[in-house]
């Protein structure tokens, strides 16, 4: 029987990339330094004792990585690339964890067992950080180890009712087959600009990966919510304060939904905006069937709220941890930490499962197909 494809998962969190790759892949090694995420990973993956290593990636060596993986997946800390963060770039303390991972790739390459393919997932700020210098530095690291690379910007909204754009850098040591290259709807303006800004020596390593658009999404935010009778609602006074935080445009949007009279479900973020030279807190509501991008509780935005309009009334509440998990494509069987804040930390810092599955099925698995390696279909 042919051997399955193998992968390493760095900065693994709760193992969402693993879930997206699916049962047909074998995880040979996984790592995360966050104890809460590590505990959640172990809670959901019975074989974790055999391959999961909790701790700082800088404390690992190439000797800790078994064999040669077909894929190394790295969702490295994104805070320093995020618009919500300090934009320190690759020099930032947290984003420099990437170089802890990259040191392991270099060590494996020196032993003749570098991963055949690498996926680096991050916020879209990676493409523009330090006016493109950080993306060029990433490309130089990849090219220096013999990888050709390209990037795709994929919004989870194509698969799930959550607006969550992310960039996926896919690098390969194998010659990219012509059938996997060409135009793609995921070649965003930012991806094209980042590619155009590469110096000629790096541009020679660039690949325009072809990834087709998926079928139209057929679920909206309302479809993933708990029944009204099973959640805790804000007192009317708290809902009133939330409405008072809305700028005129958003309040008008809410009033228009009230005037319609039928049930409408919206998502609300509280953000700090600059108005007339002052920084003010605002509540921003959307009724397009999408939640805003999930964040960790300590991120740049507060915990997301749900607002429901019906019969002329407005009710509001916090998004539950289970609803957040569904917005990441996690099944209800996925075991979350008991505390809501802990659960939101795990889900808000993860990768959307259906996006990984689409990327794997449409690009990674065809790219890695070879005699002696195949993906077992579940």
Q: What is the pLDDT of residues 313-358, one digit of tens each?
A: 999 999 999 999 999 999 999 999 999 999 999 999 999 999 999 9
Domain assignment of residue 74, yes or no: yes
Q: How many domains does the chain have?
A: 2
Residue 339 lies in a domain: no
- Residue 112 is predicted with a pLDDT of 96
- Average pLDDT on 174-186 reads 95
Query: Within this chain, do residues 81 and 211 fall inside the same structural domain, yes or no?
Result: yes
Question: How confident is the model at residue 90, as a pLDDT?
Answer: 56
For residues 156 and 82, state if they share a domain: yes
Which of 282, 302, 319 terminates a domain? The answer is: 319
Average confidence (pLDDT) over 276-301? 85
Same domain? 150 vs 271? no
Residues 195 and 243 in one domain: no
pLDDT of residue 306: 97
Structural domain includes residue 66: yes
Long-range contacts, 278-286 (Cβ 8 Å, 24+): 281/245, 282/245, 282/246, 282/247, 282/250, 283/242, 283/243, 283/245, 283/246, 283/250, 284/246, 284/247, 284/250, 285/246, 285/250, 285/253, 285/254
Average pLDDT of span 109-116: 97
pLDDT (0 to 100) of residue 109: 97
The parent domain of residue 235 ranges over: 227-319
Which segments of the chain does DSSP mark as H helices, in order?
Answer: 16-21, 35-44, 48-51, 97-110, 133-144, 189-196, 200-203, 236-244, 248-260, 321-327, 340-348, 353-359, 365-368
- Give the pTM: 0.91
Question: Could you tell me if 102 and 163 lie in one domain?
Answer: yes
pLDDT of residue 295: 87
Average pLDDT over residues 75-98: 58
pLDDT of 266 higher than 50: yes
pLDDT band, very low/low/confident/very high, at 204 (cuts 50, 70, 90):
very high
pLDDT of residue 280: 87
Let me know if residue 363 belongs to a domain: yes
The mean predicted confidence, pLDDT, of the chain is 90
Residue 19 resides in a domain:
yes
Q: What share of the chain is helix, strand, coil (3-state, %, to 5)?
A: 40, 25, 40
Instruction: Return the percentage of the chain with pLDDT > 70, whole number.
Output: 91
For residue 358, give the CATH number of its domain: 3.40.50.150
Is residue 169 in a domain? yes
Q: In this structure, is residue 325 part of a structural domain?
A: no
In this predicted structure, the answer to whether residue 1 has a pLDDT above a threshold of 50 is no
* pLDDT at res. 375: 37
pLDDT on residue 208:
98
Shared domain for 115 and 248, answered yes or no, is no
As a whole number, mean pLDDT of residues 37-60 equals: 96
- Residue pLDDT, tens place only, 243-260: 999 999 999 999 999 999
């Amino acid at each position: 029987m042919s051997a399955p494809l193998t992968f390493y998962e760095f900065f693994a969190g709760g193992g969402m990339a693993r879930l997206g790759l699916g049962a047909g892949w074998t995880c040979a090694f996984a790592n995360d330094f966050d104890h809460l995420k590590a505990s959640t990973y172990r809670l959901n993956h019975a074989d974790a004792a055999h391959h999961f290593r909790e701790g700082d990636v800088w404390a690992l060596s190439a000797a800790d990585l078994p064999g040669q993986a077909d894929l190394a997946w790295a969702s490295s800390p994104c805070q320093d690339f995020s618009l919500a963060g300090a934009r320190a770039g690759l020099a930032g303390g947290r984003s420099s964890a990437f170089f802890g991972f990259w040191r392991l790739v270099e060590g494996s390459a020196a032993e003749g067992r570098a991963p055949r393919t690498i996926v680096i997932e991050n916020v879209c700020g990676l493409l523009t950080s330090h006016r493109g210098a950080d993306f060029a530095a990433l490309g130089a690291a990849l090219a220096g180890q013999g990888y050709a690379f390209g990037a795709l910007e994929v919004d989870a909204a194509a698969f799930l009712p959550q607006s969550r754009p992310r960039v996926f850098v896919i690098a390969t040591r194998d010659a990219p087959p012509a059938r996997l290259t060409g135009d793609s709807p995921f070649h965003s303006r930012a991806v094209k600009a980042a590619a155009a800004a590469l110096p000629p020596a790096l541009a020679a390593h660039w690949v325009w990966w072809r990834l087709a658009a998926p079928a139209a999404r057929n679920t909206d935010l309302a479809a993933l919510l708990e029944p009204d009778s099973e959640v805790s609602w804000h007192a009317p006074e708290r809902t009133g304060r939330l409405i008072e935080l809305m700028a005129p445009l958003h309040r008008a949007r809410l009033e228009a939904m009230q005037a319609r009279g039928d049930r409408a479900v919206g998502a609300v973020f509280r953000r700090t905006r600059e108005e007339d030279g002052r920084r003010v807190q605002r509540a921003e509501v959307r009724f397009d069937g999408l939640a805003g991008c999930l964040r960790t509780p300590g991120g740049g935005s507060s915990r997301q709220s749900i607002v429901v309009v019906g019969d002329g009334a407005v009710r509001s509440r916090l998004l539950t941890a289970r609803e957040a998990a569904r917005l990441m494509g996690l099944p209800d069987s996925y075991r979350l930490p008991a505390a809501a804040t802990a659960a939101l930390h795990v889900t808000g810092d993860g990768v959307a499962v259906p996006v990984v599955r689409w990327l794997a099925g449409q690009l990674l698995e065809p790219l890695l197909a070879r005699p002696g390696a195949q993906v077992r279909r579940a």
